[in-house]
Chain A
């Protein structure tokens, strides 16, 4: 790696240069296209570094063309690859025998496996968890929800991007070996456990199905329900009624106890219907039914069942 203390002729990238690259990599997906995917954004990210490393025009042109090749990975996981590429380009600019094939090889070799890490960790674990946390506050009308989501997400994102780019830069080409080691795999595994745990909880909490059909009407015995006629008048009556009702744990409100299908299902385990609906969706998705079709289908079924009186 370049050493800027002893040899002044060597060109090396300062922390500031690397920060510029990291900031620009925020826009890596900006020119996403069907031909070479993230290539434009990739070159855009590296631009300040390449311009510093190569001063001769033909060197620059070669570098630009080299980095307009096909590239695609998870946008945040591009950071460690950028770090490694910076180290390689720096070596090359200082005369090391790093050829195009080596640089291309590192990029292609890392982008696949890293995309496989980024999707489950960021899109399927961190975002659902942080998003659900924020959304549950927002639904209750709490402005902290979106703020918390925004701040937390961007702290995690920026921290991850900067740290892994630096890690890649320091490790140079050795990072590829590092990745096959256990750490990343462990992080992915841990994240998917945590993610599944929270998804399980979210299904119970947020998928709302309420079956209306009445299964039974039982006449309650005297004393098991509030006898409205015997309550004192005025505020004291309300007080007595609330005391007897005791948040639903005390006496019934009516002399007939109505049990709906939903009550029965909830006695098995609360949220059973939601769970079954989720399994149905999973099955349909595996059958390659488009999520859009499923979403529209659920709306139609919801409206139909409501009209019939089931929901």
Chain B
């Protein structure tokens, strides 16, 4: 790998680390991070496919409150580097995914360390505020963001130092039953992310939507955009009808002139 590619990978890793905590531009999402690493190393297609596959697994990973989800940033950056170093192209995607998962856990600990260091920095900000020194506060905010960037950039640089031949030998030493089994596990593990989402959103009101979505998806002619369109329309229709319904029942309880003609007609009837 050329020196320029290596530098670019470390820069991508730095952005992914920053975004892992900022959660704004989404550079840390596998879809973006893996593709960028593929791009700067000239293995765009392999990176793209790895990014897409990992993204499907990471769909439901989200930072909520003080809890941090498995770290998508380290998972995507490190697995993409291993994929590129291994030189197996597309064929290496499924083993790269399997490697990504334990890395997501390791990334979690790194985040916790940085967040603890930041407590000390906040006290420096307190002291600066006491003196009205806003430049210092701004500076430390930027330093904190850079620390989060380094959290991923340093492991990425370390991975790059390991010679590519060693990574390749390690991947090739993997028996077929293991890599195939990992690919099968990768196909199933997607369910965990969805389960997290469902646990968060499920209520008796929305379960029918889930059921219809599941049944409709078997029609392979429907693209995801088509499915999204159907879902959006149904949600809008439901809310509209629900509005009418509650107006109608209010009218039934009080007077009949609620400004909802359909409700009034139903009540009179």
Where the two chains meet, the residues of A that have a C-beta atom closer than 8 Å to any C-beta of B are: 26-37, 39-41, 43-44, 47, 51, 57, 60-61, 64-65, 68, 72, 75, 115, 119-120, 123-125, 127-129, 131-143, 145-146, 149-150, 153-154, 157, 186, 189-210, 269-271, 274-275, 277-279, 281-282, 284-286, 291-292, 294-296, 298-307, 311
Contact call A64/B188, Cβ cutoff below 8 A: no
Contact call A286/B199, Cβ cutoff below 8 A: yes
Q: Given the complex of chains A and B, what is the CA–CA distance between A277 and B238 in angstroms?
A: 29
Contact call A132/B56, Cβ cutoff below 8 A: yes
* Chain A residue contacts of B32, Cβ below 8 A: 146, 149-150
Contact call B52/A200, Cβ cutoff below 8 A: no
Q: Given the complex of chains A and B, what is the CA–CA distance between A201 and B213 in angstroms?
A: 5
Report the 7 A-B pairs with minimum CB-CB distance, sorted nearest first: A200-B213, A138-B52, A302-B185, A303-B181, A208-B187, A281-B195, A197-B231
Q: List 7 A-B contacts (CB under 8 A).
A: A26-B25, A27-B141, A29-B23, A43-B129, A128-B59, A150-B25, A154-B25
Q: Given the complex of chains A and B, what is the CA–CA distance between A26 and B27 in angstroms?
A: 13
* Chain A residue contacts of B197, Cβ below 8 A: 124, 128, 195, 199
* Chain B residue contacts of A30, Cβ below 8 A: 18, 21-22, 141-142, 144-145, 148
* Chain B residue contacts of A32, Cβ below 8 A: 21, 115, 118
- Nearest CB in chain A to that of B121: its residue: A31
Contact call B55/A131, Cβ cutoff below 8 A: yes
Contact call B26/A149, Cβ cutoff below 8 A: yes
Residue from the list A61, A191, A285, A292 in contact with B131, Cβ < 8 A: A61
Q: Given the complex of chains A and B, what is the CA–CA distance between A133 and B189 in angstroms?
A: 19
Residue from the list A157, A196, A201 in contact with B227, Cβ < 8 A: A201
Asked if B177 is at the interface of the complex by the 8 Å CB criterion, the answer is: yes
Contact call A292/B184, Cβ cutoff below 8 A: no
* Chain A residue contacts of B192, Cβ below 8 A: 281, 285, 291, 294-295, 298
* Chain B residue contacts of A31, Cβ below 8 A: 118, 121-122, 125, 140-141, 144-145
Contact call B115/A203, Cβ cutoff below 8 A: no
Contact call A199/B194, Cβ cutoff below 8 A: yes
Q: Given the complex of chains A and B, what is the CA–CA distance between A120 and B180 in angstroms?
A: 35
Contact call A157/B216, Cβ cutoff below 8 A: no
Q: Given the complex of chains A and B, what is the CA–CA distance between A270 and B218 in angstroms?
A: 6
| Chain A min CB distance to B26 (Å) | 6
Centre residue among B56, B69, B105, B236 by max chain A CB count within 10 A: B56
* Chain A residue contacts of B144, Cβ below 8 A: 30-31, 40
Contact digits for B120-138, partner A, Cβ 8 Å, 1 yes 0 no: 0110011001111010011
Known contacts A124-B200, A196-B209: A61-B130 contact under CB 8 Å: yes
- Nearest CB in chain A to that of B236: its residue: A190
Contact call B62/A278, Cβ cutoff below 8 A: no
Contact call B206/A298, Cβ cutoff below 8 A: no
| Chain B min CB distance to A126 (Å) | 11
Q: Given the complex of chains A and B, what is the CA–CA distance between A222 and B162 in angstroms?
A: 61
Q: Given the complex of chains A and B, what is the CA–CA distance between A291 and B105 in angstroms?
A: 10
Contact call A292/B70, Cβ cutoff below 8 A: yes
| Chain B min CB distance to A48 (Å) | 9
| Chain B min CB distance to A224 (Å) | 25
Q: Given the complex of chains A and B, what is the CA–CA distance between A150 and B26 in angstroms?
A: 7
Which one of B41-49, B77-85, B150-158, B259-267 is at the interface?
B41-49
Contact call B191/A278, Cβ cutoff below 8 A: yes
Asked if B160 is at the interface of the complex by the 8 Å CB criterion, the answer is: no
Q: Given the complex of chains A and B, what is the CA–CA distance between A128 and B126 in angstroms?
A: 38
Asked if B4 is at the interface of the complex by the 8 Å CB criterion, the answer is: no
| Chain B min CB distance to A199 (Å) | 5
* Chain A residue contacts of B116, Cβ below 8 A: 33-34
* Chain A residue contacts of B201, Cβ below 8 A: 120, 124-125, 192, 195-196
Contact call A190/B239, Cβ cutoff below 8 A: yes
Contact call B49/A196, Cβ cutoff below 8 A: no
Asked if B161 is at the interface of the complex by the 8 Å CB criterion, the answer is: no
Known contacts A198-B228, A286-B199: A303-B178 contact under CB 8 Å: yes
Contact call A198/B134, Cβ cutoff below 8 A: no
* Chain A residue contacts of B248, Cβ below 8 A: none
Contact call A209/B218, Cβ cutoff below 8 A: no
Q: Given the complex of chains A and B, what is the CA–CA distance between A27 and B148 in angstroms?
A: 12
Centre residue among B18, B25, B186, B227 by max chain A CB count within 10 A: B227
